[in-house]
């Protein structure tokens, strides 16, 4: 019950080219860079696409993959060759972020969180379907403890989330826009408007709704979903990165015992955090 990952300086990354992971440390940040940051499966593709269209000022742009802007997955010279303004993304923990980004504080960061229970389910499906990357054959019941203990690439959700919250608190001059997968679902228009404002992009109502429409789950699944697919046991071909796109799918996966175990660990790990306010089960039960 293990998956293939890359250990670099004692930390677990996906099995990318080690040179691209090494490049995170020496990454040269530009004043007009925009970097979407999230633990995997928290809506990175979605928000990155929104940011990319907002920066372009139009929705009619050539299709490129989110991974082409992923700092740890693109070799340094290829990142350097991208024209400004660059829409980038990373799943790096706060303390592993490029040194320049944290010292110069010149570029803009968009930090997204998602209910960790939905993240766990989404990440399980990601690991299961990306066969050539992870060679993972476990079942959900085996994966669940692995996720809780952070034995996956990018390690513990709890540590990642605490680290980013603390990092943002300790660096008030960092330019960060904080949002959540759930808020994006609930009020997509408003959230895109906030993003445009944060990015300093002038966008009228018509453009905002165009961006919302173009980045809808169904549209992105139809246009980009064909690029990476997985053959299910019943032989159906399904997109890997565009699975369900819903809030609360964890309820279809967690047993009662898993839910109780999750709550206990969550409450211990996330005391007095923003994440606790957003995702504590105690809150939703009261
Ligand atoms: P599910 O597996 O729950 O469906 P990331 O981009 O960080 O890898 O996150 C992937 C998750 O976001 C997946 O969740 C995926 O379906 C969902 N997603 C991708 N594009 C989306 C969109 N345009 N709108 C809503 N959810 C989207």
The CA angle 233-238-242, to the nearest 5 degrees, is 140
Task: Confirm whether 91 is a catalytic residue.
Answer: yes
pLDDT the model gives residue 158: 98
Tell me the C-alpha to C-alpha distance, in Å, between residue 229 and each of 4, 217, 233.
Answer: 19, 16, 13
Decide: 144 and 12 in contact? Cβ < 8 Å: no
Per residue in 158-209, pLDDT (tens digit) is: 999 999 999 999 999 999 999 999 999 999 999 999 999 999 999 999 999 9
- Give the whole-angstrom CA distance, residue 150 versus residue 173: 30
The residue whose CA has the least distance to atom 22 of ligand 1 is: 217
The residue whose CA has the least distance to atom 8 of ligand 1 is: 41
pLDDT the model gives residue 132: 86
Question: ipTM, 2 decimals?
Answer: 0.99
Torsion angle defined by CA atoms of residues 40, 127, 69 and 215, in that order, rounded to the nearest 10 degrees: -70
Show the tokens assigned to 283.
Answer: 């809150």
CA of 119 from ligand 1 middle (Å) equals 10
State the average pLDDT for the chain: 95
Per residue in 55-114, pLDDT (tens digit) is: 999 999 999 999 999 999 999 999 999 999 999 999 999 999 999 999 999 999 999 999
Show the tokens assigned to 5.
Answer: 């990952």
Residue 155 has pLDDT above 90, yes or no: yes
Per residue in 20-64, pLDDT (tens digit) is: 999 999 999 999 999 999 999 999 999 999 999 999 999 999 999
Q: Is 219 in the pocket of ligand 1 (CB under 6 A)?
A: no
pTM, rounded to two decimals: 0.96
């Amino acid at each position: 019950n293990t998956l293939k990952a890359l250990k670099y300086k004692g930390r677990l990354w996906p099995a990318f080219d080690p040179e691209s992971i090494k490049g995170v440390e020496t990454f040269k940040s530009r004043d007009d860079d925009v970097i979407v940051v999230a633990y995997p499966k928290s809506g990175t593709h979605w928000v990155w696409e929104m940011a990319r269209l907002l920066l372009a000022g139009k929705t009619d742009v050539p299709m490129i993959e989110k991974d082409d802007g992923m700092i740890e997955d693109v070799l340094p010279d290829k990142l350097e060759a991208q024209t400004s303004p660059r829409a980038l993304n990373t799943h790096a923990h706060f303390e592993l972020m490029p040194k320049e980004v944290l010292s110069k504080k010149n570029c803009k960061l968009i930090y997204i969180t998602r209910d960790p229970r939905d993240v766990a389910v989404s990440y399980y499906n990601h690991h299961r379907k990306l066969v050539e990357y992870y060679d993972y054959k476990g079942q959900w019941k085996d994966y669940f403890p692995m996720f809780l203990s952070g034995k996956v690439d990018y390690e513990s959700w709890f540590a990642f989330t605490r680290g980013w919250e603390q990092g943002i608190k300790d660096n008030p001059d960092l330019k960060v826009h904080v949002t959540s997968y759930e808020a994006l679902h609930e009020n997509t228009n408003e959230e895109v408007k906030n993003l445009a404002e944060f990015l300093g992009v002038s966008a009228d109502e018509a453009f905002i709704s165009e961006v919302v429409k173009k980045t809808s789950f169904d549209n992105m699944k139809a246009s980009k979903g064909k690029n990476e697919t997985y053959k299910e046991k019943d032989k159906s071909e399904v997109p890997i990165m565009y699975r369900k796109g819903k809030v609360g799918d964890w309820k279809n996966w967690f047993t009662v015992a898993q839910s109780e175990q999750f709550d206990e660990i969550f409450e211990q790990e996330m005391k007095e955090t923003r994440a606790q306010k957003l995702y504590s089960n105690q809150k939703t039960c009261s």
